[in-house]
Structure 1
Amino acid sequence: MFVKDRMLIFAIVTTIIGFMIAVQFKTTNEPVVRDTRDILQLRQDLRIEKERQQELNQEIEKQLTLLNQLKQRDNIEGAMLDAINDLKERAGLTAVSGEGIILEIKPMYTDYGFIPQTVPAHLLRFLINELNIHNAQEIAIGNQRIISTSAIRDVNNVTHVNARRIPNLPLKVYVLANEAEKLHHEMIVSESVEYFAIENLSITSTPINFITLPEYEQPLRIRHLQPIKEES
């Protein structure tokens, strides 16, 4: 029985590790397309990818440590449930609350010229990258939680997040941060403000003591994994 418990623990942890590796594989093996980003954005994206790689390595090490700890505990089932709940929270599968900021995006001028109805996908991606650079903990665009596999795409000139159409302007972005006031001041003078202004869009930041972000509601797909049969 104890051997089967160990095999079950090992299967769960290796599945988690495999999922993270699959995510990293997906992000580094996108189809080759013409890159139209400027030098500044390329540097920011490179920094994000390096941080993501470092986080992945740390996460793999953490899960291996957890596996060794579980092997030495008597209450294996309770330890497994605690680990699974912790992983769900960090993967964005549960609602989270805390201090942070609310960014409101709306048209800058409405009395003349082109009045935008939505936020272009490339601007939202730039904003998310900049929030991550400034140590945002969790992010939600409207009611769509952003996780490592979230996709922000332009579909027929309509921006979609997590394969869901985002609402028209004004649009709110909810952000959790350990240092909300610092993030608030960073975003006031951020480059996102300048880039959004080019598209006749304004960003206002409001620090808030308590906000709740929704959980990620889409099913997670795990690929490139196969179960290992236990030898008799």
Structure 2
Amino acid sequence: MKKKILTRFTAILFLIGLMAGIQYNTINEPNTRDTRDVWEVRQELSRETKLHSQLLSEIDSLDNTLDKYEAASDASPEQALRETAGELRMLAGLIETTGPGIEVLIEPSMEAVALGLDIKGISPDLLIRLVNEINRFNALHISIDGKRIVNTTAIRDINGQTTVNTKSVETPPFSIKIISNTMEDSEKLYNHLLASRILDDFYIDNMTLTVSTPKPDLVIEAYDGAIDTKYLQATEEE
């Protein structure tokens, strides 16, 4: 009887020790090793630094707007409210916007036209990649084939057709308009797109990108849909 109890006790201790060893190795040994070289780490650090700088700029801009609203509200609360609402509508893309920017024309490649190839519409993945490239250079306002990009915009495939804001994007040619904060930002975006690998991606799909030189007064139409606010809630004043 004592021998049987001792055997069970030994087995239990063995299982406990085995589980403790496995747990120790799991904690102390990472699943994957970081195999990036110094240059890749520096690039990642540069991207994070740029993101941090953009966030600081946005915070400073919001602080300035708040200070301006508080100062104006003492003299004319209604006027301050109207000005603030107008600025927010512009940032949300609900009104026509004019500013420094560039226009990108997407059209069938000359080779595809000469060979009589069937030109298909742009794929959602390729269009999303292009928008991401554009947003890397402080793009404030974008419209694709006359469809204004807002925070709730979705670029997706619907029944085999690429759509923006649930509206079909035309088969090339069509244009994309981008407004930046300054002419300098527009020039940076212009130079980046001319040297970007995404030009090759479009060429593989029998399309080309033609980037216009920056313009000081590019016009982008307003968003013509309804903004869904059903998940928004008013904050209570403390």
Please classify the TM superposition score into its range, dividing by the shorter chain length.
0.5 to 0.7
The structure 2 residue matched to 1:129, chosen from 116, 132, 150, is: 132
Matches within 5 A, 1:118-197: 118-177=121-180, 178=182, 179=184, 180-197=186-203
Distance 1:203 1:162 in 2: 22
Stretch deviating more after TM superposition (195-204 or 65-74) = 65-74
- TM-score when normalising by structure 1: 0.67
Residue number in structure 2 paired with 1:224? 231
Deviation at 1:72, TM superposition (A): 5.9
Task: Give the match for residue 211 of structure 1.
Answer: 218
**Mapped pair 1:200 → 2:201:** no
Structure whose residues are more often helix by fraction: 2
Give 5+ residue unaligned stretches, structure 2.
1-43
Structure exhibiting the larger radius of gyration computed from Cα positions: 2
Name the CA distance, whole Å, in 2 between partners of 1:65 and 1:228.
Answer: 16
Unaligned runs of 5+ in 1: 1-42
Supply the AA of the counterpart residue of 1:98.
G
Aligned-pair CA distance for 1:184? 1.5
**Equivalences, count:** 185
CA displacement at 1:112 relative to structure 2: 3.0
- In 1, the alpha carbon distance for the partners of 2:227 and 2:64 equals 19
Report the aligned-residue RMSD: 3.3
**Aligned-pair distance for 1:117?**
3.0
Task: Give the whole-Å Cα distance in 2 for the aligned partners of 1:221 and 1:66.
Answer: 29
Look up the SS of the partner of 2:74 in the other structure.
Answer: coil
Structure 1 position 148, deviation (Å): 1.8
What TM-score, normalized to structure 2?
0.66
Q: Secondary structure of the residue that 2:157 maps to in structure 1?
A: strand
Indicate the percent of aligned positions where both proteins have the same amino acid: 26
Shift of 1:137: 2.4
Q: Which residue of 1 aligns with 2:66?
A: 65
